[in-house]
Amino acid sequence: MSFVAGVIRRLDETVVNRIAAGEVIQRPANAIKEMIENCLDAKSTSIQVIVKEGGLKLIQIQDNGTGIRKEDLDIVCERFTTSKLQSFEDLASISTYGFRGEALASISHVAHVTITTKTADGKCAYRASYSDGKLKAPPKPCAGNQGTQITVEDLFYNIATRRKALKNPSEEYGKILEVVGRYSVHNAGISFSVKKQGETVADVRTLPNASTVDNIRSIFGNAVSRELIEIGCEDKTLAFKMNGYISNANYSVKKCIFLLFINHRLVESTSLRKAIETVYAAYLPKNTHPFLYLRLCYQDLLAPLGRWLNPQQV
Ligand code: ADP
Ligand code: MG
């Protein structure tokens, strides 16, 4: 064993960015979740996802949202560039998913990214490719409908360890279907689709005029959609609202299906899941579980406190 002190060196900036990006984007489904949130922030009503090899070879997301201005294409993939937040105070009132400007930057550090986009008043669409956060060449004019198409190719091409850890494309595809299926239930009124490249049949598909229950039916099946109870409650003092659909005692599955959205973000909560399962255990056959879709919205109670502590912010 050697007891000689190691030499401390400063890491190269691209290495630092790549490590940071690998923390944000751990698998194709994470990248897709971030990009879907961007489509929703851009007020899209149609979001179509195409993947190849579980998203490891290709992810392509097409939306019909606001598009990105040509002038912004230079910096859109740099870290901390966003159209959603300007000042620190804006954080208290932000209603978009994004605000940090980290997702596209992270993705561009671990994959080849191409953006094709057209705004409502843009004369044509523009296409630009990125690597390590930077534009590779000036954006090129091209044909295209209003909205944005982002392609992500060869995810983790520059992180060999991560690529080796994700060697099962069908498992990755399963995670992608899970994320998109859940966002489509939560966003009735917006049409979603996911398919493998070259296939004609989509594995997730919801229609623009479908209700939440319609979407639960198309993603989770007819059996559960017939046995749902609509629930809701509100607490003014704690400043929260909750609503959703839960299965009744006639329905049970082998594994609990729990869609939990807090302030519109898909999250996991083991403690809430366990508490709910304890209640259901009294009604369901042994070793079977419920379906739940809960949306919880709360106001940040500390936001007004911040204003009180710092009276300059009105
Ligand atoms: P954030 O969402 O935190 O702002 P992102 O890195 O996810 O950061 O995106 C950076 C910026 O790129 C966004 O602020 C937005 O202006 C633009 N953008 C990304 N995706 C889309 C999209 N699908 N449609 C329109 N604009 C987009
Ligand atoms: Mg974002």
- Taking 3-state DSSP, the helix, strand and coil percentages for the chain, each rounded to the nearest 5, stand at 35, 25, 40
User: What does pTM read for this prediction?
Assistant: 0.91
Find out whether the beta carbon of 64 lies less than 6 Å from any atom of ligand 1. no
Give the closest residue (by CA) to ligand 1 atom 23: 39
- Specify the ligand 1 atom closest to the Cα of 105: 6
Mention every residue, 6+ apart, whose C-beta is less than 8 A from residue 229.
245, 246, 247, 248
CA of 90 relative to ligand 1 center, distance in Å? 17
Find out whether the beta carbon of 100 lies less than 6 Å from any atom of ligand 1. yes
DSSP character at residue 89:
G
Find out whether the beta carbon of 66 lies less than 6 Å from any atom of ligand 1. yes
Q: Are the CB atoms for 189 and 72 separated by under 8 Å?
A: no
What confidence score (pLDDT) does residue 89 get?
A: 81
CA of 83 relative to ligand 2 center, distance in Å? 10
Distance CA 247, CA 225 (A): 8
Query: What's the number of CA atoms in the CB half-sphere (13 Å) around residue 251?
Result: 20
For the chain, which residues score pLDDT lower than 50? 306-307, 310-314
Q: Are the CB atoms for 261 and 243 separated by under 8 Å?
A: no
Find out whether the beta carbon of 51 lies less than 6 Å from any atom of ligand 1. no
Mention every residue, 6+ apart, whose C-beta is less than 8 A from residue 298.
238, 239, 240, 241, 262, 263
- Nearest ligand to the C-alpha atom of residue 147: 1
DSSP character at residue 253:
B
CA of 38 relative to ligand 2 center, distance in Å? 5
- The pairing of beta strand 58-63 with beta strand 46-52: antiparallel
Find out whether the beta carbon of 82 lies less than 6 Å from any atom of ligand 1. yes
Among 45, 114, 50, 36, smallest CA distance to 76 is for 114
Give the closest residue (by CA) to ligand 1 atom 20: 38
CA of 286 relative to ligand 1 center, distance in Å? 46
- Specify the ligand 1 atom closest to the Cα of 81: 10
CA of 76 relative to ligand 1 center, distance in Å? 7
What confidence score (pLDDT) does residue 299 get?
A: 75
CA of 57 relative to ligand 2 center, distance in Å? 22
What confidence score (pLDDT) does residue 300 get?
A: 65
